[in-house]
Amino acid sequence: MDGNATLPALAVERLSVALSGRTILDHVGFSLAPGSFCGLIGANGSGKTTLLRSILGLVTPSGGTIRCAGGKPGQAIGYVPQKIQFDPFMPLRARDVVGLGLDGHRFGIPLPNAARRARVAAMLAAVDAERFADQRVGDLSGGQQQRVMIAHALIRAPKLLLLDEPLANLDLRSIAEVVGLLHRLTEKQGITVLLSAHDMNPLLPVMDQIVYLAHGRAVSGTVADVVRGGVLSQLYGYHIDVIRVHGRVLVVAAGGVEAQDGSLLCDPVHVAPIP
C-alpha cells in the first residue's frame, strides 16, 4: 500500500437496507476513486435517496459496510438534499444559506467575524454566486438556488459531496451550468462527487463512473462498461436495450414489462417501452 492515494473516497460493500419491512437496497457494492465524478442513476423509487442517506448515516443499514475517507459524515461529507423549497417569505439571503453551512449547527449568538465573512465570500465566488449573494434566496431561480446549496454543502471543505436529484426541475441551461460547476470542483479541488439522477444524459460528458440502481441492486463501473443491454438486462431481470442516438443514451425495456412493473416505466426518458 502506498498511502491514501489508493484508498477509495467511498467504499460501499454488500449494503442492504430495509425500511418498514421492505427491502430497499440489496447487497449494493461500489467504490469511488478520490476526485471522481459519479452518477447514481436509477428510476424513481429505485433506492437512490436511501443509498445517499445511508452514506450520510441517517439510515441504519440491515447489513454491509460503508467506509468513507476522512472521518465523520458532518465534516467529511457535504450533502445537497432533494427538492429544497426555499420560502420566499423567509428573510434569508444566498449569503446566509452558505454561512449556515459553516456553523448552522452551532449554539449561541452568531457574532460578526471577518474570517467567517471572507470564507463565505470565497465560497460564493467558487460557485459563481456573487452576483445574487445578497438577494433573498427564495426569489432566486432553481439553478441559482442549486449553486447556493452546493456552496452550503462545500463550505466546510468536505472530501465527498452527495447530491440528491439536483438537476430535477431545472431547465436545460441551468442543468449544464450546475453540471459544469460540479465538474470544475472535482477537477480543481479534488472533491469526489456522487450525484443521483433519473436521466444520465446530462452527465455523460463529465461522468467518470456510474452506479446504476434497479430493484435495490446495483452495477457500477464506467458508462461504457455498465450501460449495455446485456449488463442492464441482467440487473433488471428482463430484456433491456440500450440505444445511442445523437449522443444521447436511451435505456429501453422490451414490451410487456409494463404490466409486471408499472413503477419502472413511469419515467419515459429513462425506460421507454417499445411500442
Partner 1 sequence: MFSSFMLNSWIVATIVAATAGLVGFFVVIRGASFAAHALPLSAFPGAAAAALLGVNEIAGLVGFAALGVLGINGFSRRGRPEVATALTLVLLLGVGTLLLSQSRDDAQLVYGLLFGQVLGVSRAEIVPIAALSAAASLATLMLLRPLLLSAVSPELAQARGVAPGRIDIAFLVIMALAETIALPVVGALLVFSLMVGPASAARNLTDRPWLGLALSVGLSVVTAWLAIALAYQTNWPIGFFVGGLGALAYAVGRAVRGAKS
Using CB under 8 A, which of 1, 6, 60, 105 touches partner 1?
105
Using CB under 8 A, which of 63, 71, 74, 255 touches partner 1?
74
CB nearer partner 1, residue 89 or residue 246: 89
The reply to whether 119 sits near partner 1 by the rule CB under 8 A is no
Distance CA 275, CA 268 (A): 12
The reply to whether 268 sits near partner 1 by the rule CB under 8 A is no
Q: What is the DSSP string of 196-211?
A: EES--GGGTTT-SEEE
The reply to whether 90 sits near partner 1 by the rule CB under 8 A is yes
CB neighbour class for 149 (10 Å; exposed up to 12, middle 13-18, buried from 19)? buried
For residue 115, the one-letter residue type is A
Q: What residues between 152 and 211 interact with partner 1 by CB under 8 A? A: 152
The reply to whether 108 sits near partner 1 by the rule CB under 8 A is yes
Beta-bridged to residue 18, according to DSSP, are 23
Torsion of CA 266, 206, 231, 236, to 10 degrees: -20
Using CB under 8 A, which of 109, 115, 224, 259 touches partner 1?
109
The reply to whether 125 sits near partner 1 by the rule CB under 8 A is no
- Stretch touching partner 1 by CB under 8 A, among 33-41, 124-132, 135-143, 214-222: 135-143
Beta-bridged to residue 252, according to DSSP, are 241
For 39, other C-beta atoms within 10 Å of its C-beta total 24
Sign of the four-CA dihedral 13, 195, 32, 60 = negative
Binding site for partner 1 (CB under 8 A): 56, 58, 73-74, 79, 81, 84, 86-87, 89-93, 96-97, 100, 103-110, 134-136, 139, 152
